[in-house]
Amino acid sequence: MTKTLTSSAQDKVLRRRLGHTDLLLSPLGLGCWQFSNGNGLVGKFWPVLAPEAMTRIVETSLQGGINWFDTAEVYGGGQSELLLARTLKQLGSEEAERAYIATKWWPVFRTASSIPATIDERLRLLDNRTIHLHQVHQPYSFSSVASEMKEMAKLVQAGKIRHVGVSNFSAKNMREADRILREHGLRLASNQVKYNLLDRSIERNGILDAAKELGVSIIAYSPLEQGLLSGKYHRNPELVKAMSGPRKWTSGFRATGLRKTLPLIEALEQLGAKYDASPTQIALNWLIHGNGDTVFAIPGASKPHHASENVQAMRFALTAAELRSLSELSERARV
């Protein structure tokens, strides 16, 4: 269920500081993997979006209070960066001009030397917009964390990027990254990891604790467990058969998995009735309020109504008791 967005509603979206940076961001950003234009192995995960749909998705996100966008080099080999920047330029609004950009360097089969070697291409594809957050996309490369952070620090000092983040890093590697950045007068801003009501592994492997200890923000990707938390597959299991791609074979989408997670979905629906919200919005709200201001989330949107659904999740706050109740139910729903 979605509501018409108004300027007064936009003003109610509170900003929170990303880590130790000066960036004041909306609790939700827009994940832009789906803007890959069907390019490359990673980009083929999503259908090609029509330019009009992309424009409406970005515009709806901005009007709803989202002020930052997360993209990456590997998303369509730069297509996501290019199309995001093009769309923001075409919109030309004050919100579009002020939007913050986060992107990522792809490290697999590379060394840290490719960080400075590829930054000008990132900037070119982004139409020379400021890169507010540049992240190491994966911990797997031919270089050490220390080497990567030293190259990132040089980019900050050269004015090529504003802040440094990582993605999919362990607690140990987060601490190492922050230690090296401190030597250059900087701090690690964020760690982008998978986190949602059905995948809370960062609470058990030390990543969330390390983030709170260091003052590093968590950016949660896959915040809806690939749509499982929407509840639509529980209400209509036939939709699973019509799905394309490998996710239909994962445990969560099997009949046994759907049965196990149904009590959680029912709780999301009950809270949704209270807040005039969808299960999706309740699940996102749990993410951005369950750990103070530590966790941001980047749901994607392949249709304009998805973007409208996303922004409405920032219009309310679950109570402490409701957050705890969902946490307890989600522990029993792990598949």
Asked whether 239 and 232 are in contact (CB, 8 A), the reply is yes
Other residues' Cβ atoms within 10 Å of the Cβ of residue 276 = 12
Other residues' Cβ atoms within 10 Å of the Cβ of residue 313 = 25
Tell me the angle at which helices 255-275 and 279-289 cross, rounded to the nearest 10 degrees. Answer: 80
Identify the burial level of 107 via C-beta atoms within 10 angstroms of its C-beta, where 0-12 means exposed, 13-18 middle and 19 or more buried. Answer: buried
Asked whether 146 and 181 are in contact (CB, 8 A), the reply is no
Other residues' Cβ atoms within 10 Å of the Cβ of residue 234 = 21
User: Which residue in 299, 326, 332 sits closest to 314, CA to CA?
Assistant: 299
The backbone torsions φ and ψ at residue 45, rounded to the nearest 5 degrees and listed phi first, read -65, -25
Residue 154, sorted as left (phi over 0), alpha (psi -120 to 50) or beta, turns out to be alpha
Tell me which of 75, 100, 195, 221 is the catalytic residue: 75
Residue for token pair 């970005």:
58
Whether 275 sits among the annotated catalytic residues: the reply is no
Structure tokens at 54: 């992309």
User: Which residue in 235, 247, 274, 260 sits closest to 330, CA to CA?
Assistant: 260
List the catalytic residues: 75
